């Protein structure tokens, strides 16, 4: 049962344009969401997060939007740069017995062309 | 500051054997997490250790086990290896179990033949 889904395996964007990466989830108990970026031969690195009490969080070029009614979150990168080319994972967490456990999506490969 | 280090980088084992993977967290981090990334899948949560105790466990069979040592380093053991155990195993450490402070290592690529 894939509770967090990234339905686009890949995304190609021109440098300077906006990149929009999408993520859907099914578990209504999730209350904290994160995005990670992963380069080849490296571990994922934390990018940005959002709590379920918010619908938007911004950090520089990166903005995460959360639509709880649609169980959907998205990551916007503006403007996109070639160095942003990587695999992006969304992840979700809830409390209770799932405390400390991140549930990840399958990842989206972002390619930013110069 | 040294990051999370994992060893070995690559490991090749035969079906039925045991594999031991090691992780050294960032200095001062008491929590260690193990994740499995099989081909084409996202990261799957395996285990969380904190202060030497297993705090949470993912949906994996008991042949996946581990421990955390007094210096907070950790070991993941996989017994009776099966072909589908072939994956990248990632370790992360943090002070904060909410994922914001996770620092991942580069992983151990386990291949079962």
CA B85 to chain CA mean position, Å: 13
pLDDT given for residue B100 in this prediction: 65
Of A42, A93, A100, Cβ closest to residue B106: A42
Q: Tell me the pLDDT band of B99, cut-offs 50, 70 and 90.
A: low
DSSP code string of B37-95: E-TTS--EEEEEEETTEEEEE-S--TTEEEEE-TTS-EEEEE-S--GGG-EEEEEEEES
pLDDT given for residue B1 in this prediction: 64
A37 pLDDT above the threshold of 80: yes
**CB pairs < 8 Å spanning A and B:** 68
Q: pLDDT tens, B34-89?
A: 999 998 778 999 999 998 999 999 999 999 999 999 999 999 999 999 999 999 99
pLDDT given for residue A40 in this prediction: 87
Best B6, B99, B100, B107 member to test A by mutation, with max A CBs in 10 Å, is B99
Mean of pLDDT values over A31-40: 93
Tell me chain A's radius of gyration from C-alpha atoms.
14
pLDDT given for residue B40 in this prediction: 76
If you measure CA to CA, which chain A residue comes closest to B38?
A106
If you measure CA to CA, which chain A residue comes closest to B104?
A43
């Amino acid at each position: 049962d894939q509770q967090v889904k990234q339905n686009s395996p890949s995304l190609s964007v021109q440098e300077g344009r906006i990149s929009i990466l999408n993520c859907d989830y099914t578990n209504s108990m999730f209350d904290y969401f994160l995005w990670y970026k992963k380069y080849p031969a490296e571990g994922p690195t934390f990018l940005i997060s959002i709590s379920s009490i918010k619908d938007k969080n911004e950090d520089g070029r990166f903005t995460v939007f959360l639509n709880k009614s649609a169980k959907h979150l998205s990551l916007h990168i503006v403007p996109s740069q070639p160095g942003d080319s990587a695999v992006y994972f969304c992840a979700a967490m809830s409390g209770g017995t799932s405390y400390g456990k991140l549930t990840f999506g399958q990842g989206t490969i972002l390619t930013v062309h110069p | 500051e040294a990051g999370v280090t994992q060893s070995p980088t690559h490991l090749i084992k035969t079906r039925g054997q045991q594999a031991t993977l090691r992780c050294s967290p960032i200095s001062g981090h008491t929590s260690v997490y193990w994740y499995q990334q099989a081909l084409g899948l996202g990261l799957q949560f395996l285990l969380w250790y904190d202060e030497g105790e297993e705090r949470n466990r993912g949906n994996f069979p008991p042949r996946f086990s581990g421990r955390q040592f007094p210096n907070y380093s950790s070991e993941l053991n996989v017994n009776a290896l099966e072909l589908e155990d072939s994956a990248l195993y990632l370790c992360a450490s943090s002070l904060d179990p909410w994922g914001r402070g996770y620092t991942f290592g580069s992983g151990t690529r386990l291949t079962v033949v």
